[in-house]
Amino acid sequence: MTKIGGILVCLVIVGLDIAAAILGIQAEVAQNQVKHMRLWLFECREPSQDAYRLGLGAAAVLVMAHVLINLIGGCLCICSQDEFQRSSSTKQISMACLVLTWIVFAVGFGALVIGTMSNNKSRSSCGFTHHHFLSIGGILCFLHALFCVAYYVSATAAKDEAAK
């Protein structure tokens, strides 16, 4: 039964991250359909309300996936470098995946927020081009799914190993 629960957790996390990725990429597509004028590195364009909504949705779904995996994955406390080196390889892999999950989340969420805020209704902007933040955030959502599954599997294995 626990294997089915673990598979279900992984599928939910992957589903949320894929949904966030699709929303982020669709937001990029919607943003590119807006009228804009470009002169070398400078660009003037109107904000896209569709891109704003899709980007906001992508960021929210990414946050949900990240919070869920951190709650379900649990806490494997390693407080020092020495303790990390003495711990089992399963626990070390779990901590490495957790750190990578947080890094990918921070960069992906940041990219989605930057792309979303550039499409805020009150901002008709001219300046340096800021392309592809939404699609980069969407692609990082796929990477987030990969590290989340690796973290969940290794954290569960580390907990089972500690229980023996």
Whether the pTM exceeds 0.75: the reply is yes
Structure tokens at 133: 């933040």
pLDDT at 135 over 70: yes
Could you list the beta-strand ranges (E) of 47-89: none
pLDDT of residue 132: 87
For residues 34 and 99, the model is more confident at 99
